[in-house]
């Protein structure tokens, strides 16, 4: 009996020793981690010989446009940005204090779903809070009173954003970006070539539309129904490809959707799914890049 009790006590002592050792290791780890976090800015600045600007992605990083930001400064280098001394992370514990970040970015798709306690607990006056969005506010409205005066900068498709995320960039023939912008002045355009004229005259069909989102806030589908009826009277059709129509085409190759537009159609429906100022997506490029005239449906000033 005494031997059994002795063994039991020995087991308890062993467990106690292991627990104390585990607590010691955890304490040491946390202390070292604290030291690493507290010295990160100084170490990186010393190694790079320049001041690094740290950007924290507060909301999920794998949702556009945040997924274009990359990790660290990879996206800034890849896109040949003027400034590459920016460091992006979604690790809110990268520093000991979240106030050590130079900027905190919030995705417009997600910020409307956050409860008050899910926002940063502290805010430094030197920090910039950035609202980033690529979607129309008609679909993702950020209209809560708690957000009034909350953001310092905007990063959206709007032409008056502090810095712009754009679906489309207009370049001149020298490769210089010239638009779109509020006071857009179109440069002199070269006349089309004889080869392009031949290409255009070889087309034989009226209009096409590639679409997968059938019910929209803009109501574009109702306009399409009326357009189809009107074209019938002239012996023409509006061919609809994708989930919302009877036709289908390949994603790549000589018989791809884009190649079909390039070879066959005079017009293409560049219809947005919602209305918002300056909201023009890649749907416009589907027409322009494939030698079709875009028929536009949106709230933007398309002359820009």
Q: Which residue has the higher pLDDT, 19 or 42?
A: 19
Q: Are residues 145 and 234 in the same domain?
A: no
Given a cut of 90, whether residue 267 has pLDDT beyond it is yes
Question: CA 78, CA 88: separation in Å to the nearest integer?
Answer: 14
Pick from 32-36, 134-138, 223-227: least confident: 32-36
What is the pLDDT of the chain when averaged over all its residues?
86
Q: 131 pLDDT band (50/70/90 cuts)?
A: very high
Is 47 part of any domain? Answer: no
Q: Are residues 151 and 204 in the same domain?
A: no
Pick from 28-37, 124-133, 176-185: least confident: 28-37
pLDDT tens by residue, 114-123: 998 999 999 9
Residue 54 has which token pair? Answer: 């740290």
pLDDT, mean of residues 201-222: 93
Phi and psi angles of residue 109, each rounded to the nearest 5 degrees, phi first: -70, -30
Given a cut of 90, whether residue 143 has pLDDT beyond it is no
Predicted confidence at residue 3, as pLDDT, reads: 52
Edge-to-edge strands, sheet with 205-210: 238-241, 205-210, 265-271, 293-297
Is 85 part of any domain? Answer: yes
Domain holding 223, by residue range, is: 194-297
Is 21 part of any domain? Answer: no
pLDDT tens by residue, 222-246: 999 999 999 999 999 999 999 999 9
The CATH number of residue 219's host domain is 3.40.50.11660
Predicted confidence at residue 42, as pLDDT, reads: 54
Q: Which of 125, 150, 166 is the last residue of a domain?
A: 166
Is 155 part of any domain? Answer: yes
Is 19 part of any domain? Answer: no
pLDDT tens by residue, 36-92: 455 555 555 544 546 889 999 999 988 888 988 988 989 999 988 888 999 999 999
Q: 165 pLDDT band (50/70/90 cuts)?
A: confident
Predicted confidence at residue 281, as pLDDT, reads: 93
Q: 98 pLDDT band (50/70/90 cuts)?
A: very high
Give how far Cα 91 sits from Cα of 33, 54, 151, Å.
14, 11, 20
Is 15 part of any domain? Answer: no
Q: Are residues 124 and 209 in the same domain?
A: no
Predicted confidence at residue 33, as pLDDT, reads: 43
Is 29 part of any domain? Answer: no
Is 26 part of any domain? Answer: no
pLDDT, mean of residues 211-229: 93
Given a cut of 70, whether residue 32 has pLDDT beyond it is no
pTM of the prediction?
0.78
Q: Which of 151, 166, 181 is the last residue of a domain?
A: 166
Predicted confidence at residue 102, as pLDDT, reads: 95
Given a cut of 90, whether residue 301 has pLDDT beyond it is yes
Q: 287 pLDDT band (50/70/90 cuts)?
A: very high
Q: 26 pLDDT band (50/70/90 cuts)?
A: low
pLDDT, mean of residues 124-142: 92
Q: Are residues 114 and 212 in the same domain?
A: no
Q: Which residue has the higher pLDDT, 129 or 34?
A: 129
Pick from 12-16, 35-39, 160-164, 197-201: least confident: 35-39
Q: Are residues 162 and 57 in the same domain?
A: yes
Q: Are residues 289 and 202 in the same domain?
A: yes
- Count the domains in the chain: 2
């Amino acid at each position: 009996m005494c031997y059994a009790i002795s063994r039991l006590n020995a087991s308890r002592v062993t467990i106690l020793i292991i627990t104390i050792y585990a607590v010691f290791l955890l304490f040491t780890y946390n202390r070292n981690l604290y030291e690493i976090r507290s010295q990160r800015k100084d170490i990186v600045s010393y190694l790079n010989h320049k001041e690094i600007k740290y950007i924290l992605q507060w909301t999920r990083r794998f949702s556009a446009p945040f997924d274009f930001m990359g990790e660290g400064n990879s996206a800034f280098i890849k896109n040949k940005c003027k400034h590459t001394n920016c460091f992006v992370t979604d690790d809110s514990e990268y520093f000991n204090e979240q106030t050590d970040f130079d900027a905190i970015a919030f995705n417009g798709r997600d910020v409307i779903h956050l409860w008050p306690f899910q926002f940063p607990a502290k805010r430094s006056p030197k920090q910039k809070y950035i609202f980033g969005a690529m979607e129309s506010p008609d679909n993702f409205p950020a209209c809560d009173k708690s957000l009034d005066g909350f953001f310092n900068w905007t990063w959206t498709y709007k032409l008056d954003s502090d810095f712009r995320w754009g679906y489309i960039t207009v370049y001149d023939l020298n490769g210089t970006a010239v638009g779109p912008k509020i006071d857009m002045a179109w440069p002199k355009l070269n006349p089309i070539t004889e080869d392009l004229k031949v290409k255009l005259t070889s087309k034989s069909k009226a209009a096409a539309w590639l679409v997968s989102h059938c019910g929209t806030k803009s109501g574009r589908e109702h306009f399409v129904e009326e357009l189809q009826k009107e074209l019938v009277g002239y012996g023409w059709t509006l061919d609809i490809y994708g989930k919302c129509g009877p036709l289908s085409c390949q994603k790549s190759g000589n018989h791809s959707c884009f190649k079909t537009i390039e070879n066959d159609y005079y017009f293409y429906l560049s219809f947005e799914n919602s209305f918002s100022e300056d909201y023009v997506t890649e749907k416009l490029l589907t027409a322009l890049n494939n030698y079709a005239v875009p028929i536009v449906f949106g709230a933007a000033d398309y002359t820009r």
